Structure 1
Amino acid sequence: MAPAWAKSAARPSKPHDVGRKFFADGRVMPFAGNTIICHLPQQGEGSEAFRAMLDIYRQLPAMPFARKMTALPPSSYHMTVIGGANDKDRRRPLWPAGVPLDASMQACNDFVGDTLRAVTLGDDAAPYRMKVNLAEPAADEEPLTIRLLPADADTATKLYRLRRRLAERMGIGIESPDDYGFHMTMGYAIDWLTTSENQAFRATLAEWKAELARRAPVITFGAPEYCLLDDMFHFARQFYLR
């Protein structure tokens, strides 16, 4: 049986992020906002995960499902610690409590940045040791995401506690603060997959994740970064949280 995000008469005409983050033809749309992330190390020690994901990026265009996805630039690969505010979700509790709903995006960025500069991570500081979640993705999960799990109890404690702390400081609400699904996004669906495309995708994703886990059993992320974005292709670091 096809999953919820495969082609179905019961589904919207396009996946969730079409018309929000991407045009129907796959081009990236404006999506201004701020976020706290850890970029995937791309150079030197600890960069094997990036090289493995770069191989996935190289293989993707030849796949039967590739035309229904927009791949993100490898330079954008990151793990989200906690999402901030964005220009398309101006409502509580997604928009900071200390910022008027009609404030400019720049004013919101400045408020969040000033707030985060005053944060000292202490016991919640990096490194964060993660591993690939090899479980099959949920039926309603759209491609293309690499799900992650904390590799040890210390990392889990630090990350979930940090998410609660940052949400409180920024004045935003987060659902299920203690079971957030950490992940790295490699691409977005721009059309529903057919049953055969879905079967190919899920089989290929399982192979990709297994190879990534083999090459990088533990993926170590450094200090969280306060980043600004104009769209989903680039996350511009403003400063590290220490």
Structure 2
Amino acid sequence: MVPSPSARRLKTASSTTSSSSAEAACLLRRRQSCRRRPPPHQDPRTTTTKDFAMASRQFHPERTEPPADLWLNRLIAEGKTAALPPSITAADKGGKFSTDGTVLPYPGNTFICHVDKSAPEFDILCQLQDDIRKLPAADYFSFLPHESLHMTVFCGVSGNPLTTDGWPENVAEDVSLTDITDYFYKAAMTLNGFEGVTVRADHLKAGYSIHAEPADQESFDALWQMRDALRAVTGLARTDHDSYQFHISFGYRIARMPMPKAEEHIAAVTALFEAAAPKLQAIRLGPVEFCTFENMHHFEPIARLFPKR
């Protein structure tokens, strides 16, 4: 029997039983044959500069310099059919944040690496976030607490409804979050994890999110091997699996900006980032943590995926 959330808290891969992910999946199959859920629609990310591209599954040892208009397009209102940025809704419409920046209930689970709070890079990241908070355009964002700073390795399920961002194949769609968390927990505990990885701050995406690149080949291999393994054992196959870009978010956009405001913001955050970037080329992250959450302000670890002994 899979431990309750309180009993299984902070277990490691080395302490798990030999139960297989296939056995865990059997516990969730409520019908003989489950229709495979198609991958969720992937919103296109239009850029105005066509010659900039970073292959996610390729190790990039050197920093890149994406064009400013790439991020301007993310921030501005011009040409957008949706009135609000992604994940922003009225309080009762299922988003992560309301239009005034209030964090909303958005339950789910995920696999993340927290930034090592004992490392100097954590303090530098926190200071950079605080400096961005002081800018004139700060009201266009809802910022996350320092203690929640993390890098997502593999997204689980989340949202209102729970199937908002993908669903495991061969699992009935009426399965509860508690049961799907038990399923993922048991499946993930069969995997061989790592003690930690190192990433570097490549650039600042749209003025609110660090684009994090693996700092060395070992970290690159560890992260992508883990993503592939989690896709296999959870059954969560998303269309962006191979193009996913690791990041450390400082907050969420809650409104679109007029062009002059966006240009001013990009110029200001670029200057802040360039001053901090030399000290953010070896950000130490801990092991992969399987976490549950009720909203975007706190991620509660229930298991850490360490190397098997």
Residue aligned with 1:133, SS: strand
Contact conserved, 1:32 with 1:229, CA < 8 A, in 2?
A: yes
TM-score normalised by L of structure 1: 0.87
Contact conserved, 1:227 with 1:238, CA < 8 A, in 2?
A: yes
Give the distance between the partners of 2:304 and 2:111, measured in 1 at CA: 9
Deviates more, 1:206-215 or 1:11-20: 206-215
Give the distance between the partners of 2:165 and 2:77, measured in 1 at CA: 32
Give the distance between the partners of 1:61 and 1:157, measured in 2 at CA: 34
1:31 aligned residue (106, 119, 137): 106
Contact conserved, 1:48 with 1:216, CA < 8 A, in 2?
A: no
Residue aligned with 2:98, SS: coil
2:158 aligned residue (67, 86, 91): 86
Structure 2 unpaired stretches of 5+: 1-68, 90-94
1:197 pairs with 2:261: yes
Contact conserved, 1:38 with 1:81, CA < 8 A, in 2?
A: yes
Instruction: Note the C-alpha offset of 1:114.
Output: 1.7
Partner of 1:67: 139
Instruction: Note the C-alpha offset of 1:169.
Output: 0.3
TM-score normalised by L of structure 2: 0.69
Partner of 2:178: 106
Contact conserved, 1:60 with 1:66, CA < 8 A, in 2?
A: yes
The superposition leaves residues 1-36 of structure 1 with CA deviations (integer Å, 9 ceiling, x where unpaired) of: 752430225331111111211001110111100000
Q: Which amino acid aligns with 2:303?
A: F
Larger Rg: 2
Q: Which amino acid aligns with 1:169?
A: V
Cα separation, partners in 2 of 1:227 and 1:58, compared to 1, 3 Å: same
Give the distance between the partners of 1:183 and 1:93, measured in 2 at CA: 18
Instruction: Note the C-alpha offset of 1:180.
Output: 2.2
Contact conserved, 1:93 with 1:172, CA < 8 A, in 2?
A: no
Partner of 1:212: 276
Partner of 1:15: 85
Cα separation, partners in 2 of 1:92 and 1:240, compared to 1, 3 Å: same
Contact conserved, 1:132 with 1:209, CA < 8 A, in 2?
A: no
Contact conserved, 1:160 with 1:177, CA < 8 A, in 2?
A: no
Residue aligned with 2:267, SS: helix
After the TM superposition, which residues 1-242 of structure 1 pair with which residues of structure 2 at under 5 Å, given as runs?
3-8=73-78, 10-19=80-89, 20-43=95-118, 47-88=119-160, 90-91=162-163, 94-121=166-193, 125-134=194-203, 137=205, 143-242=207-306
Q: Which amino acid aligns with 1:130?
A: V
Give the distance between the partners of 1:168 and 1:87, measured in 2 at CA: 22
Residue aligned with 2:75, SS: coil
Cα separation, partners in 2 of 1:58 and 1:224, compared to 1, 3 Å: same
> How many residues in Structure 1 have an aligned counterpart in Structure 2?
231
Deviates more, 1:176-185 or 1:84-93: 84-93
